[in-house]
Chains A and B, each alone.
Chain A
Amino acid sequence: MTEVTLSRRGFLRSACCLAAAPIFTPVTFAAMPGDNRFVTIVLRGAMDGLDLVQPYDEAGFARLRPTLALTPDKGLLDLDGHFGLNPAAAGLMPLWKSRELAFVHAVSTPYRDQRSHFDGQDMLESGGEHVAEEKTGWLNRALSVIPRSDDRKAIDVNTSTELILSGPNDVDVWASDSNLRTAKDEMQLLMRLYAGDPIFANAMDEATRANGAAMAAEPDGKRAERIVDVASLTGTMLKGEYRIASFSITGWDTHVGQAGQFRRPAQDLAQAISTLKATLGPTVWSKTVVLAMTEFGRTVRQNGSGGTDHGTGGCAVLAGGAIDGGRVLGRWPGIGDGKLLDDRDLMPTADVRELAAAMLYRQFEVTARDLTTKIFPGLSFDKASQFLRA
Chain B
Amino acid sequence: MSLSFPTMAAIRFGYGFRPGEVPPQSKDQLLGQVASGARSAPSFLSDGIDGRHQQIADLQEELRELRQSGDEQARRDKRKAIQKRVLHGFQRDANARMMQAVLSPNGFYERLAAFWTDHFSTSANKSLPMRMIVPLYEAEAIRPHLGGSFRDLLRNATQHPAMLIYLDQAQSQGPDSPGGMKQKKGLNENLGRELLELHTLGAGSGYTQADVRAAAMVLTGLTIDRRDMDATFRPGISEPGEHRVLGVSYGGAKRSPKDYLALLDDLAVHPKTAEHISRKLAVHFVSDQPSSEMVVAMADAWKKTDGDLMAVYGAMLDHPAAWRDEGAKARQPFDYVVAGLRALNAGSGDGAVGEFMRAHQDGGDGGDATMAPKAMAGQGSAMGGDAGAMAPDPEDAAASKRRKALQTARALGQGALRRMGQPTWLPPSPAGFEENFSTWITGSQLAERLAWARRASAQFGKDEDPREFLKATLADAARDETIRIVAQAPNKISGLTLVLASPEFNRR
CB neighbours (8 Å) of A204 from chain B are 443, 446
Chain A residue contacts of B503, Cβ below 8 A = 193-194, 196-197, 199-200
Known: A19-B385, A193-B501, A197-B503. A179 touches B490 (CB 8 A): no
Q: How far is the CA of A117 from the CA of B502 in the complex (A)?
A: 19
Which residues of the other chain, A, contact B445 by a CB distance below 8 angstroms? Answer: 203
Q: Determine which of A7, A20, A207 lies in contact with B385 in the assembled complex, contact meaning CB atoms within 8 Å.
A: A20
Digit string of B493-504 for contact with A (CB within 8 Å is 1, else 0)? Answer: 111001001110
Q: A189-B488, A214-B378 are known contacts. Are A177 and B498 too (CB-CB below 8 A)?
A: no
Task: Decide if A212 is an interface residue (CB 8 Å cutoff).
Answer: yes
B155 beta carbon closer than 8 Å to chain A: no
**B437 contact from A177, A199, A250, Cβ within 8 A:** A199
- Contact partners of B444 in chain A: CB under 8 A: 206-207, 210, 213
Cβ contact of B485, chosen from A20, A25, A160, A189, cutoff 8 A: A189
B169 within 8 A of A: no
Listed stretches A149-157, A316-324, A375-383; interface member: A149-157
B57 beta carbon closer than 8 Å to chain A: no
Asked if residues A44 and B491 are in contact (CB atoms below 8 Å), the reply is: yes
Q: B490 contacts A117, CB within 8 Å?
A: yes
In the complex, identify which listed stretch (A9-17, A55-63, A298-306, A340-348) lies at the interface while the others stay far away.
Answer: A9-17
The minimal Cβ–Cβ distance linking B338 to chain A, given in whole angstroms, is 20
Q: How many angstroms from the CA of A252 to the CA of B489 in the assembled complex? A: 11
Question: Is A8 close to B, CB under 8 A?
Answer: yes
Judging by beta carbons under 8 Å apart, are B481 and A192 in contact? yes
Q: How far is the CA of A213 from the CA of B384 in the complex (A)?
A: 19
B residues 326-382 in Cβ contact with A at 8 Å: 376-382
Whether the Cβ atoms of A200 and B385 lie closer than 8 Å is no
Q: Are B441 and A160 in contact (CB under 8 A)?
A: no
Knowing A156-B404, A183-B490, A190-B498, say if A8 contacts B437 (CB, 8 Å). Answer: no
The stretch of B96-104, B127-135, B392-400 that contacts the partner chain: B392-400
Contact A8 B394 (CB under 8 A): yes
Are A177 and B392 within 8 A (Cβ)?
Answer: no
- Nearest neighbor of B391 in chain A, beta-carbon distance: A12
Residue from A177, A192, A200 with most neighbouring chain B CB atoms (10 Å): A177
- Indicate whether A118 sits within 8 Å of B401 (C-beta atoms), given known contacts A20-B382, A199-B441: no
Q: What does the 1/0 interface line of A232-256 toward B look like (CB < 8 Å)?
A: 0000000000000000001111010
* B379 and A212 form a contact (CB under 8 A): yes
Interface residue from A20, A180, A207, A255 paired with B446 (Cβ < 8 Å): A207
With contacts A121-B491, A157-B401, A189-B498 taken as known, whether A215 is within 8 angstroms of B391 at the C-beta atoms is: no
Q: Of the candidates A118, A156, A183, A212, which one forms a contact with B378 in the assembled complex, judged by CB atoms under 8 Å apart?
A: A212
A155/B397 in contact, CB under 8 A: yes
A16 with B467: CB separation less than 8 A: no
How many A-B contacts at CB < 8 Å in the complex? Answer: 189
Bound complex: CA of A317 vs CA of B394, how far in Å?
Answer: 37
B382 touches A158 (CB 8 A): no
| In the complex, B248 has a CB within 8 A of chain A | no
Q: Would B443 and A203 count as touching, CB distance under 8 A? A: yes
The answer to the question of A228 belonging to the interface, with a C-beta cut-off of 8 Å to chain B, is: no
Taking A178-B385, A213-B443 as contacts, is the C-beta distance between A158 and B405 under 8 angstroms? yes
List chain A residues, Cβ under 8 A from B392: 9, 12-13
Knowing A7-B394, A155-B397, A177-B404 are in contact, say whether A213-B447 is a contact too (CB < 8 A).
yes
Cα A118 to Cα B488 in complex, Å, equals: 9
B79 at the interface (CB under 8 A from A): no
Q: A156-B404, A207-B443 are in contact. Are A16 and B389 (CB under 8 A)?
A: yes
Q: Bound complex: CA of A13 vs CA of B488, how far in Å?
A: 38
Residues from chain B with a CB closer than 8 A to the CB of A212 are 378-379
Contact of B491 among A7, A45, A192 (CB under 8 A): A45
B389's closest neighbor in chain A, by CB? A16
Interface membership of A308, Cβ < 8 A: no
CB-nearest residue of chain A relative to B464?
A118
B126 on interface, CB distance cutoff 8 Å: no
Decide if B378 touches A203 in the complex (CB within 8 Å).
no
Q: Which of A17, A155, A156, A157 has the most CB of B within 10 A?
A: A156
Flag whether A205 is at the interface (Cβ < 8 A).
yes
Interface residue? B459 (CB, 8 A): yes
Which residues of B have CB within 8 Å of A17? Answer: 385
- The one of A118, A160, A213 that contacts B459, using a Cβ cutoff of 8 Å: A160
Asked if residues B377 and A118 are in contact (CB atoms below 8 Å), the reply is no
* CB contact between A121 and one of B389, B400, B455, B492 (< 8 Å): that residue: B492
B482 A12 Cβ-Cβ under 8 A: no
Q: Are B490 and A45 in contact, with the CB atoms below 8 A?
A: yes
How far is the CB of B400 from the nearest CB of chain A, in Å? 8
- On whether the beta carbons of A189 and B378 are closer than 8 Å, the reply is no
B489 and A189: CB pair below 8 A? yes
What mask results when residues 430 to 446 of chain B are scored 1 for a CB within 8 Å of chain A, else 0? 00000001000111111
Docked-complex contact B485 and A192, CB < 8 angstroms: yes
- Say yes or no: is B462 at the interface (Cβ < 8 Å to chain A): yes
When chains A and B are docked, how far (Å) is the Cα of A215 from the Cα of B501? 11
The answer to whether residues A200 and B458 also contact, given A15-B385, A185-B490 and a CB cut-off of 8 A, is: no
Interface of chain B residues 289 through 346 with chain A (CB within 8 A): none
Q: Once the chains bind, are B458 and A193 in contact (CB under 8 Å)?
A: no
Cβ–Cβ contact B388 & A180, under 8 A: no
A178 near B443 with CB under 8 A, answer no
Q: Answer yes or no: A175 CB below 8 A from chain B CBs.
A: yes
- Answer whether residue A293 sits at the interface, using C-beta atoms and an 8 A cutoff: no
Q: Are A9 and B501 in contact (CB under 8 A)?
A: no
- When distances are taken between beta carbons in the complex, the residues of chain A under 8 Å from B388 are 12-13, 15-16, 19
> Would A117 and B489 count as touching, CB distance under 8 A?
yes
Q: A45 to chain B: which residues have CB within 8 Å?
A: 490-491
Assess whether A46 is interfacial by the CB under 8 Å rule.
yes
> Separation in Å of the B507 CB from the closest CB of chain A?
8
Q: Give the chain B neighbours of A164 by CB distance below 8 A.
A: none
Within 8 Å CB of B199, what residues of A? none
Kindly name the residue among A183, A194, A203, A206 whose own CB sees the greatest number of chain B CB atoms within 10 A.
A203
Beyond A16-B388, A193-B503, whether A203 also contacts B383 by CB under 8 A is no
The answer to whether B408 and A158 touch across the interface, beta carbons within 8 angstroms, is yes
Q: Which residues of B contact A44 (CB under 8 A)?
A: 490-491
Q: With the chains together, A18 CA to B382 CA distance in Å? A: 9
| Cα–Cα distance between A189 and B378 once the two chains are bound (Å) | 22
Q: CB of A159 within 8 A of chain B?
A: yes
> Considering only CB atoms, which chain B residue lies closest to A205 in the complex?
B443
Q: Write the chain B residue with the least CB distance to A17.
A: B385
Nearest B residue to A253, CB-CB: B490
The contact of A158 among B404, B448, B495, by CB within 8 Å, is: B404
Q: Is A186 part of the binding interface, using a Cβ–Cβ cutoff of 8 Å?
A: yes
In the bound assembly, the distance between CA atoms of A16 and B384 in angstroms comes to 7
Residues of B within 8 A of A117 (CB): 488-492, 495
Q: Which residues of B contact A210 (CB under 8 A)?
A: 443-444, 447
Which interface residue of B377, B379, B491 has the most chain A CB atoms within 10 A? Answer: B491
Q: Which residues of B contact A (CB under 8 A)?
A: 376-386, 388-389, 391-394, 397, 400-401, 404-405, 408, 437, 441-448, 450-451, 454-455, 458-459, 462, 465-467, 479, 481-482, 485, 487-495, 498, 501-503, 506
Q: What 9 new A-B contacts, CB under 8 Å, besides A214-B378, A215-B450?
A: A44-B491, A157-B401, A158-B408, A177-B382, A178-B380, A180-B376, A190-B450, A206-B442, A215-B451
Ranked 8 nearest A-B pairs via Cβ? A19-B385, A206-B443, A178-B382, A214-B377, A177-B384, A45-B490, A19-B382, A253-B490
List residues of chain A with CB under 8 Å of any chain B CB.
7-9, 12-13, 15-20, 25, 44-46, 116-118, 121, 153-160, 163, 175-183, 185-186, 189-190, 192-197, 199-200, 203-210, 212-215, 250-253, 255
- Report 13 cross-chain contacts, Cβ distance below 8 Å, ordered by A residue: A17-B385, A45-B491, A116-B487, A118-B491, A118-B492, A159-B458, A177-B382, A177-B385, A177-B455, A180-B450, A180-B454, A186-B490, A206-B444
